[in-house]
Structure 1
Amino acid sequence: MTVTYGPEHLALQQEHDSRGLAELWQQKLIHGELTPEEQAFIASRDMFFLATVDGEGKPTVSYKGGPVGFVRVLDAVTLAFPGYDGNGMFLSAGNIATTHSVGMLFIDFETPHRLRVQGEAEVVRDGELVASFPGAAYALRVRVTDAFVNCARYIHRYRRVETSRHVPQASGEQPLAEWKRIDWVQPHLPSRDRDPAAAAGELTMEEYGAKTAACDT
């Protein structure tokens, strides 16, 4: 377990009379290995939120989605998930390559239920792990340091309507993202995307906005 309380945590706990609770959770709730129930919960998810920090301590949070089970439990202290085609900024992956620290939030909006996982991650650029995820450009492997279930009382309930059509198929194929058709974006696309984007035809920003208002991008 690596979750610790600094002076500001302690001051707020004291101010709100929660010092005893905070110590209790630290001792009884937070643990360093995923339980069988937690492993099964992660394997049942098709999305999670990923938090990372850069070399200056600046955070970013990203939504990650895929098919059910796209986050794999390799063992009680190791997770892996694919890095799919994105916007080319590599904010999360770049942060992981720099500081390695991650926070992962898994939520079931129907039950509801949520699980928080913190750990040290690495970017895996090639090899069997990457190849095992259809459509992945790279993979992320996480060594779990802390896991704990959070109270679900503030989770809004809803049922998922459908899986995004952009989730890679078993073959690894996925449709072209519409934003890659924007006229001022196309000249800056990676070489692999230029011909498909040109073939699909250019869009002005206004045309792109109209399309995205009507359908999945």
Structure 2
Amino acid sequence: MTHHSPSDIAFSPAVKAQQEAKGSRDLFAGGDVQNPWPDRITPDLADFIAAQTSVFLGTASAGGQPYIQHRGGPAGFLKVLDDYQIGFADLAGNRQYITLGNLSENPQAFLFLIDYAQRRRIKLWGRARVVEGDPALLGRLVPEDGRGRPERAILFDIGTWDVNCRQHIPQRFEAEDVRAALMQREQRIAQLEAELASRPKP
């Protein structure tokens, strides 16, 4: 299918028909001209990707049955390989292989990234493929402080992406960040208490 604008990947004729019926088509059509959706990885997006510790990968079978798989790891486990491609090491799991089966017959895929602390989410449409038996590629993708046994690589080629609004995103913080903040506060309290104790009594 030929796309005249990157947003056509998300806005199929059926989607545009719904937008027209609901009164929002003019808004999005105008945006396609004035501010078209990006089709490559910008520096800002690359920074956002590098900071993520979690990602949701959406695929579907040839018959259209959807599936969402979660993948996580230390910041940097999701790697930008060039201006159009993201990759990550697929770790040993429950051996259902639903994502692998879907991608073997339907390369259309979707990545959903969400940062709860900053209340920001990014949607990426594209095509994904599984790469087996490439130790050099897998070596590029495995994070230094990662856990689990890497079995293969999954590469995602970006078609387009969009940033969602912050509305309705609950603000949550990583447990490690909360622990670090509490430790810093406790250290500061201890420091102030020591300073008070060292002052000469009147």
TM-score (norm 1): 0.70
Pick from 119, 127, 131 the counterpart of residue 139 of structure 2. 131
Checking the alignment, whether the CA contact within 8 Å between 1:50 and 1:62 is kept in structure 2 is yes
Alignment of 1:39-54 (within 5 A): 39-54=46-61
Identity percentage over the alignment? 27
Answering whether residue 165 of structure 2 is matched by residue 151 of structure 1, we say yes
Question: How far 1:10 moved relative to its partner?
Answer: 2.5
- The alignment partner of 2:9 has SS state of coil
RMSD: 1.8
Query: AA paired with 1:30?
Result: W
Deviations 1:48-106 (A, max 9, x none): 11100111111101111111111100111011011111111111122122211110011
Aligned equivalents of 2:46 and 2:11: distance in 1?
27
- The alignment partner of 1:39 has SS state of helix
Answering whether residue 85 of structure 2 is matched by residue 78 of structure 1, we say yes
Alignment-derived partner of residue 97 in structure 1: 104
Alignment-derived partner of residue 117 in structure 1: 124
Checking the alignment, whether the CA contact within 8 Å between 2:59 and 2:108 is kept in structure 1 is yes
For structure 1, which runs of at least 5 residues remain unmatched after alignment?
164-217
Query: AA paired with 1:144?
Result: I
Aligned equivalents of 2:19 and 2:168: distance in 1?
21
Alignment of 1:1-217 (within 5 A): 1=6, 2-3=8-9, 5-27=11-33, 28-127=35-134, 128-132=136-140, 133=142, 135-162=149-176
Sort the Cα spacing of 1:26 and 1:94 in 2 relative to 1 into closer, same or farther, 3 A.
farther
- The alignment partner of 1:137 has SS state of strand
Aligned equivalents of 2:95 and 2:31: distance in 1?
39
Question: How far 1:119 moved relative to its partner?
Answer: 1.0
Deviations 1:150-191 (A, max 9, x none): 11212111111159xxxxxxxxxxxxxxxxxxxxxxxxxxxx
Sort the Cα spacing of 1:4 and 1:137 in 2 relative to 1 into closer, same or farther, 3 A.
closer
Aligned equivalents of 2:32 and 2:58: distance in 1?
21
Sort the Cα spacing of 1:87 and 1:4 in 2 relative to 1 into closer, same or farther, 3 A.
closer
Aligned equivalents of 2:78 and 2:36: distance in 1?
23
- The alignment partner of 1:69 has SS state of coil
Aligned equivalents of 1:60 and 1:26: distance in 2?
29
Deviations 1:111-167 (A, max 9, x none): 11111111111101122112342631111011111111111212111111159xxxx
Aligned equivalents of 2:95 and 2:32: distance in 1?
38
- The alignment partner of 2:175 has SS state of coil
Checking the alignment, whether the CA contact within 8 Å between 1:104 and 1:117 is kept in structure 2 is yes
Structure number with higher helix proportion: 2
Query: AA paired with 1:53?
Result: A
Question: How far 1:25 moved relative to its partner?
Answer: 4.0
TM-score (norm 2): 0.75
